[in-house]
Amino acid sequence: MPAGHDVTELLDDWSRGDRDALDRLLPLVYAELRRIAARQLRHERAGHTLQPTALVHEAYLRLVEQRNVEWQNRAHFFGVAAGVMRRILVDHARRQTAQKRGDGVQRVSLEHIAELPSANQIPVLALDHALTRLEKLDAGLAQIVELRVFGGLTIDEAAHLLNVSPSTAKRDWRTAKAWLTRELASESQS
């Protein structure tokens, strides 16, 4: 295979049906996102987490602003980025959890704990687990969740990417949300 592709070319190839393009694209986007994320996250306070959709949007804007990437490529890009974002966030969450378990040192009494994440945020790991289960049960639903939640796609974009009608995508999204809500609720009770 000749060397020297860029992201848009690969997206282009992919959108025209070249599945290999995705295989080539994904690890590279992933590596770069991950490297950047790792570097930034180390300076994050624990109370903050990434906003994945903003991140992906920004990355995409960079492509779109300057390059007139066609509309369907937008969805494709987000499709790729959604999966990447999910992995980055999960890895990060895992590391943080491991770290918290890892130190056996006496806690300092701190009033600042109040700054920890607010209760209504969905833990990344729990969502990831639930999504993994949904993937086994109903891959299509899991896909739309990943696109919406981690990639920030609109219903219409997700519909386009999944090759379904917007009304179908909307219904699927609603069903998936209900399933996840149920799943996450039952998990937190167990």
Partner 1 sequence: MTWAPTADRWQRVRRLFEAAIERPVPERSAFVSAAVAGDETLRGEVEAMLAADAAGAALSEQWPVASESLLAELRIAFSTVRVGSASSPGLTAGNRVGNYDVVAPLGAGGMGEVYRAHDARLGRDVAIKILPHAFTTHPERLARFEREARVLAALNHPHIGGIYGIEEAGTAPALVLELVEGVTLADHLKEGRPDIEEALTIARQVADALSAAHDKGIVHRDLKPANVKITPAGVVKVLDFGLAKADGDGATPELAHSPTITVTATRDGRLLGTAAYMSPEQARGKTVDKRSDIWAFGCVLYETLSGRRAFDRETVSDTLAAILEREPDWRMLPPATPASVRRLLQRCLEKDVSRRLRDIGDAGLELDDAIGRLGSRSFPRRVFDLGRERRSAALAGIIIVSTVLGITLLWRAWAVRPGFPDRWQPTFTQITSQSGLEWFPSLSPDGKWVVYGGDAEGNRDVFLQSTTGQTPIDLTTDSIDDDDQPAFSPDGERIVFRSSRDGGGIFVMGRTGEAVRRLTRRGFKPTWSPDGREIAFTTENADLDPQNTVGLSSLWVVNVASGEERQLGNIDAVLPSWSPHGQRIAYTTRGAIAGSTRLDIWTIDRSGKNPIAVTTDGARNWNPVWAPDGRYLYFVSGRGGPINLWRVPIDQTSGKTEGPPEALTTPSPFVAHIAISADGTRIAYSSILRSRNIQKLAIDPATGIPRGEPTWITTGSRLWANPDPSSDGKSLVFYSSVQPEGDLYVARADGTGLRQLTSGAESIDRMPRWSPDGQWIAFHSIRGKDQFLWKIRADGSELQQLSPLADAIYPTWSPDGSRIAVLMGAGIGHRENDVYIFDPSRPWKDQAPDVIPPPAGSPDEFVVNSWSPDGALLAGQAGLAAHGILTYSLRTRRFDRLTDFGGYPVWLPDSRHVMFVSGGRDFSVVDSRSRKVQKVFSVERDIIGPPQVTRDGREAYFSRRVTEGDIWLLTANPPVSR
- 67-106: which residues touch partner 1 (CB under 8 A)? 67-69, 99, 102-103, 105-106
Q: Exactly one of 97, 132, 167, 181 binds partner 1 (CB under 8 A); which one?
A: 181
Q: Exactly one of 22, 122, 125, 164 binds partner 1 (CB under 8 A); which one?
A: 122
Q: What is d(CA 86, CA 150) in angstroms, rounded to the nearest whole number?
A: 6
The CA-atom distances, in angstroms, between 66 and each of 16, 60, 62, 105 are 22, 10, 7, 51
Residue 125 near residue 47 (C-beta atoms within 8 A): no
Q: Exactly one of 17, 19, 109, 163 binds partner 1 (CB under 8 A); which one?
A: 109
Q: Exactly one of 28, 72, 87, 135 binds partner 1 (CB under 8 A); which one?
A: 28
CB of 90 to partner 1, least distance (A): 14
Residue 85 near residue 52 (C-beta atoms within 8 A): yes
Residue 37 near residue 23 (C-beta atoms within 8 A): no
Q: How many residues bind partner 1 (CB under 8 A)?
A: 91
